[in-house]
A and B are shown apart, each in its own frame.
Chain A
Amino acid sequence: MNPSLKLLLLLIVALEISFTNIVSLNVALVVLSIIYLLACRVKLRTLLWLLIVPLIPAIGLWSTQYINGTGQKELMAWVLFTRIYAFVFTGATLTLTTDVLALADSLEQNCHLPSKFAYGVLAAYNLAPKIKHEVQVIRAAGLMRGQTLSFWSPQLYFKAILIAINWSQNLAQAMSSHGFVEDAPRTHYRQIQIRTSDWVILIGGVLLLQVGVFVMPWR
């Protein structure tokens, strides 16, 4: 499916389930997502991991409602419990199966996002492994001087921002020297199209969601 339309569909789903209180709908979304992920040959271990990671926040929301809620405590507790899982699994259908480069290309070509945003964010994103290393370097450098830099230390962020300023100018310069011109029209080597089937899935998906929210007599 076209990455932009997939993102749009998932945003609509996430917004709508935030305002509906139907346990079965959330469960149905999780099941649908798992079927899709299995069809895309996502590893079982990854799926299991997705089940474990949100467990603590989900139990937290559940117990908050169950103990301190008003009205239909039990229903609301389960709604929130399943809602978390619906967020996680519908989200995974994008993050686990869609290439970031394809998403950036699609947003630029199909949604007319200015190319400097698409490529700028992509450039920063691709530096992530280096940034991870750099954070370790900053912390190690601090330790050598007997400073423990934690997430509340201004110095840690200060040094991170200094590096970010430096790298952002280098990257922007590197991109211009490779022929990238801001706000200039571009041609594309990797073409991403929206097929009719993409629109059918998007509209069909949104309609199905409305059926799930308003028509189905759940429970």
Chain B
Amino acid sequence: MKWVKDWYLSDIILLALIGVFFGIIFLGTNYIYDILAAVFAPLGLSQIPNELLLGLWCMPGMLAGYMLRIKGSSVLGEFLASVVEMLFGGQWGASTMISGVLQGVGSELGFTLTRYKHYDWLGLVATAATTTIVTFGWDLARSGYAKLQLWLLLLFFVIRFCSMFVFGGLLTRAITDLLDRSHVLKKTHTN
């Protein structure tokens, strides 16, 4: 259990607090999702709003990995966010935790593949790509994507990647730039 030692109590509380904060900010997006899903449902495309917003829901993991730069912070950040969401009475129950772990592992893989050295655009694109691939694999089974027509799958995949990049890449970068400028992350940032 060596990894346990890398984590201090304040880091754990920080990630959990960020999970709660983001969860509360995201609450409003549920209504947007519902309205959009209802609009797209008659066309059989109601997964499109899900794909559009998924990047937002995966952002805690990508942001945690990019901001804290500790191995495993993406997994822990996204997992804690999903646990908090589940405890809040998020309606998806235990499956939230499974999605949380998978999204976290997906985001972490991007940083792992770039050897935890590229905290720049390369790292962000990599984490957006791996998060897209891992979550998409899970949806092939869970949301029945495996049974859909190919053109639709490709469309969903492209939209999902764009969403991951916009929220996990552009927005994460904008947020961490603001944090950098305010010098609150001195102790963990190296470059």
Binding site for B on A (CB under 8 A): 7, 10-11, 13-15, 18-19, 50, 53-54, 56-57, 59-61, 63-71, 73, 76, 79-80, 83, 87-92, 94-96, 100, 103, 114, 116-117, 119-121, 123-125, 127-128, 131-132, 134-135, 151-152, 154-158, 160-165, 167-169, 171-172, 175-176, 180, 182-183
The size bracket of the interface on B is: 35 or more
Contact in complex: A87, B9 (CB < 8 Å): no
Assess the B9–A76 pair: CB atoms within 8 A.
Answer: no
Give 3 nearest A-B pairs by CB, closest first.
A91-B93, A67-B44, A60-B46
Contacts of B9 in A (CB 8 A): 116, 119-120, 172, 175-176, 180, 182
Interface of B with A (CB < 8 Å)?
Answer: 1, 4-5, 7-14, 16-22, 24-26, 28-29, 34, 37-38, 40-47, 50, 56, 63, 67, 80, 83-84, 86-98, 141-144, 147-149, 152, 171, 174-175, 177-179, 182, 184
A19's partner among B20, B29, B141, B152 (CB-CB below 8 A) is B141
Q: Are A68 and B152 in contact (CB under 8 A)?
A: yes
Which of B22, B94, B98: most chain A Cβ within 10 A?
B94
A135-B25, A154-B171, A158-B175 are contacts. A127–B12 as well, Cβ < 8 Å?
Answer: no
Q: What CA separation (Å) do A162 and B67 show in the bound complex?
A: 12
Contact B98 A15, beta carbon cutoff 8 Å: yes
Chain B residues positioned under 8 Å from A61 (CB to CB): 46-47, 143-144
When chains A and B are docked, how far (Å) is the Cα of A123 from the Cα of B12? 10
Q: Does B144 contact A76, Cβ atoms closer than 8 Å?
A: yes
Q: Which of A19, A60, A70, A87 contacts B95 (CB 8 A)?
A: A87
Q: Nearest chain-B residue to A91 (Cβ)?
A: B93
Chain A residue, CB-CB nearest to B153 = A68
> Which of B21, B37, B94 is the one whose CB lies under 8 Å from A131?
B21
User: In the complex, are the beta carbons of A90 and B10 less than 8 A apart?
Assistant: no
CB-based nearest A residue for B171: A154
Min CB distance A213 to B, Å, is 14
CA distance A132 to B84 in the complex (A): 13
Q: Is the CB of A64 within 8 A of B148?
A: yes
Q: How far is the CB of A27 from chain B (nearest CB, A)?
A: 17
Q: Are B21 and A171 in contact (CB under 8 A)?
A: no
- Cβ contacts under 8 Å, A119 to chain B: 9
- Assess whether B45 is in contact with A64, with CB atoms less than 8 Å apart: yes
**CB <8 Å contact, A87 and B21:** no
Q: Which chain A residues lie closer than 8 Å to B17 at the CB level?
A: 124, 127, 131, 164, 167-168
A121 contacts B184, CB within 8 Å? Answer: no
B45 near A160: Cβ-Cβ < 8 Å = no
A69 and B21 contacting across the interface, CB-CB below 8 Å? no
Which chain A residue has the least Cβ–Cβ distance from B53? Answer: A151
